[in-house]
Structure 1
């Protein structure tokens, strides 16, 4: 399970370019909307803590769902691990822009997001760290193929606590990319958005997915 935590962190790290493409605009908007005279660092960190909190909550729900499927429906845990491996491969193909099937999975969360997104109007403008945390928790529910792909790992954990921790480590893995945007580290941002860099990260994710399938196969026989 410790390997699953590390894997989730690496997935978040490798998906950094996708994070910038998906959430970079949101990050920039939230940062620029803060008053110029204040120290923005606590607000930026609070946004991200809120976001990771939501990821952890969703992961716990997925882990509990996996647990119920295993205990009450007799669903083999190795099957859930195979699903996680397949989604990781599809995620790599999506980030590499070779196959965009994962984008269809994002439709699942769009209906929920339509109900949650109007709540942001009650929080904006951001005048306190508490409000930035609350906005971050909403941000965590934004439909995202990278998040949904990693959630299959939480599902395969078969445990609410472990499922939540997997998504927490995933969220920590996404931090470098989004903090880079918030603090204006242009060079790193451009590197992560570079086509060759993105495709290299995509190939690593695909390799990781294949390795996951290999581990699952050895558990079956």
Structure 2
């Protein structure tokens, strides 16, 4: 995929990260405070000599970033597997029909994600429930990683958390599926994962205040409308046979 096609993938990660606040907010907050009270913390103040802007905990920020690196690494692995799967099936006679079906399904999943973020329809919750079979097998490993008071443990925890059943991740994985190669699929998931980082990093630094703000219905609705729009535009583009060009910056995948 071109850099232009990756922009909406990044945007979906950024808008959809309001969902990450609910799923990952607690663990990100725990990472920020994982050090024992007796361990000195390295901090930095953005605005000197004022209590209005509290000092940033550098150690906590490093753990949050490392956790996200592990999480994105798992996303990229899943994307590479998805892209390689379709690449391997590309020689089959029904490949073109399969790609067309996958394209429609990818955009339908985006619409479902938008409605999910808006609290208008919770069908994706059933998709997430289907992934619990894998997650139940991975969950026991988490006890060895908590508290995540070192960078290696934070990375491993993020890598494990990347396999948490998540409808938002599944919807973008369908786009990775259409990338046509392991490298393309991994790149799609990298763009998506990077889109979720700003929110989770800010959450680790701002804590409960940001978590409450991002769960406001108006914020979730605005993000949901954006993601819903990507899906609707993709389906309209497919149905109307709209040409490439500026639409590449607004559609997650090119029509098959």
Aligned to 1:181: 203
Aligned to 1:4: 5
TM-score, L = length of structure 1: 0.91
Aligned to 2:34: 33
Aligned to 2:78: 58
Return 5+ residue gaps in structure 1 as ranges: none
Return 5+ residue gaps in structure 2 as ranges: 42-58, 243-254
Aligned to 1:72: 92
Following the alignment from structure 2 to structure 1, what is the Cα–Cα distance between the partners of residues 172 and 222?
Answer: 19
1 or 2, which has the higher helix percentage? 1
TM-score, L = length of structure 2: 0.80
Following the alignment from structure 1 to structure 2, what is the Cα–Cα distance between the partners of residues 12 and 182?
Answer: 17
Give the number of the structure whose alpha-carbon radius of gyration is greater. Answer: 2
The answer on 1:49 being equivalent to 2:50 is no
**1:174-195 deviation per Cα after TM superposition (whole angstroms, max 9, x unaligned):** 0111112110166644442221
Count of aligned pairs: 221
Aligned to 2:49: none
Following the alignment from structure 1 to structure 2, what is the Cα–Cα distance between the partners of residues 145 and 72?
Answer: 29
Are the structure 2 counterparts of residues 205 and 127 from structure 1 closer, same or farther at C-alpha, using a change threshold of 3 Å?
closer
Q: 1:87 pairs with 106, 109, 116, which one? A: 109
RMSD between superposed Cα atoms in Å: 2.0
Aligned to 2:22: 21
Is the 2:71–2:159 contact (alpha carbons within 8 Å) kept by the matching residues of 1? yes
| 3-state SS of 1:72 partner | coil
Are the structure 2 counterparts of residues 20 and 92 from structure 1 closer, same or farther at C-alpha, using a change threshold of 3 Å?
same
Are the structure 2 counterparts of residues 85 and 31 from structure 1 closer, same or farther at C-alpha, using a change threshold of 3 Å?
same
Alignment of 1:134-149 (within 5 A): 134-149=156-171
**1:159-218 deviation per Cα after TM superposition (whole angstroms, max 9, x unaligned):** 211111101110100011111211016664444222112111111111110111123332
Is the 1:180–1:189 contact (alpha carbons within 8 Å) kept by the matching residues of 2? no
Task: State the Cα distance separating 1:5 from its structure 2 match.
Answer: 1.4
